[in-house]
Structure 1
Amino acid sequence: MRVRFLFLLTSLLLAAAPARAQDTGKPMANLLKQPAYVSAWKTMMAGAAAPFWIHEYAKTLDGPPTPVLPVELFGETYLLGFTCKPNACEGNQLFVLFAPRGRDAWGMLAAAPAISWLGRPSQHIKDAITGALRK
C-alpha cells in the first residue's frame, strides 16, 4: 500500500512540473493553443495599446516558428516566446515571458526606436526577459 502511495505521489509531482518539457523548444503558437496560456495572454493584453499586428497574431498564430526558451526565475522555469510583425520583423518584435503552467504573462515590445512593456512586469521580470535575450 505504501509503495503504491509513493508511486502515485511521485507521478503527481512529475505531472505538475513547472515547465513541461514538451513545451520547451516549440513555437509560442503551440503554447497559445492551451487555455491557460491564452488566458495569460489576454490578461497581459488587457488595456494595452498594442499594434494591430500583435492582435492579428493572437487570432491567427501565424508568426515565425521560433522555439520558446526556458528561463529560470524564482526557482521555477518560465518560458520566453517570440513573434514579430510579418515582413517587418527587425523593428517590430514581441517577447513574451510565461509563468509556469501559463498562470501569468508579460511582454516586451521592441518597436524601433522604443521598448514598451505589456502586463505590468516587475523589475525582476523585465530583467529576466532582457537577460535571456543577452545570452
Structure 2
Amino acid sequence: MRPVFSALLALCLATPALADGAYTAEIAHQPKFAPAWRSMVTLPAWVTGPAATSVPTTSVTIGGTPYLSGHLCQPHNCADAQMEVIFSADGAKSWGLLSRRRGGRLYQMPLGEPDEAVLGAMEASWQRNNPG
C-alpha cells in the first residue's frame, strides 16, 4: 500500500495545480493545454494547403509602394470562409484578412500586423469580393 501511496503523491506533486491566478502563458504551454492552444492559433487547412479556391493576383499601389493583392476561399464554402492577402513586391512580407461568417455574423482577423493602409486595402478588397 505504501508504494502506491508514494506513487500517487509523487504524481500529484508533479502535476501543476490549476487555480485562479495562474498565468495564462504558463497554462497555454502546459502539456495538458498546449495541443488545444496550438490548434487555436493555427490557420485553417484550406488557407495553408494548396486546395483553396483563389483568383489571379492583381497589382496594387498603397502609399506609392507596389504590392500584389489576392483573394482565396474555402472550397465549397466561399460565402463563409475567405481570406484577402497582400504580398510585398519583393516577397519579403505578406498580410492577410481572414473572414469567417458564423450564424449570420461576420468575424474578421488581420494577420501579419498590417498597417492602416494595408488593412484598408484588404478591407476594400473584401468589399469588392462580397458586394451587397
TM-score after normalising by structure 1: 0.55
Q: SS of the counterpart of 2:119?
A: helix
Asked if structure 1 preserves the Cα contact closer than 8 Å seen for 2:84 and 2:125, the reply is no
Q: SS of the counterpart of 1:126?
A: helix
Structure 1 residues 28-72: Cα deviation after superposition (integer angstroms, max 9, x where no partner): xxxxxxxxxxxxxxxxxxx953223222x2xxx233341112111
Unaligned runs of 5+ in 1: 1-46
Unaligned runs of 5+ in 2: 1-39
Cross-structure match for 2:58: 69
Structure 1 residues 105-125: Cα deviation after superposition (integer angstroms, max 9, x where no partner): 000001112001111111121
Quote the RMSD (CA, aligned, Å).
2.0
Higher helix share goes to which structure? Answer: 1
Q: Distance in 2 between matches of 1:48 and 1:121?
A: 18
Q: SS of the counterpart of 2:52?
A: coil
The letter for the 1-side match of 2:80 is G
Cross-structure match for 2:3: none
Q: Distance in 1 between matches of 2:98 and 2:118?
A: 14
Q: How does 1:77-116 map to 2 (within 5 A)?
A: 77-112=66-101, 113-116=106-109
Q: Distance in 2 between matches of 1:129 and 1:89?
A: 17
**Structure of higher RCO (CA pairs closer than 8 Å, 6+ residues apart):** 1
Number of residue equivalences: 85
Higher strand share goes to which structure? Answer: 2
> 2:115 aligned to 97, 107, 122, which one?
122
Q: Distance in 1 between matches of 2:117 and 2:41?
A: 20
Q: Distance in 2 between matches of 1:77 and 1:94?
A: 20
Q: Distance in 2 between matches of 1:134 and 1:115?
A: 12
Asked if structure 2 preserves the Cα contact closer than 8 Å seen for 1:48 and 1:118, the reply is no
Q: Distance in 2 between matches of 1:68 and 1:130?
A: 16
Asked if structure 1 preserves the Cα contact closer than 8 Å seen for 2:68 and 2:87, the reply is yes
Q: Distance in 1 between matches of 2:100 and 2:87?
A: 20
TM-score after normalising by structure 2: 0.56
**Percent identical residues:** 26
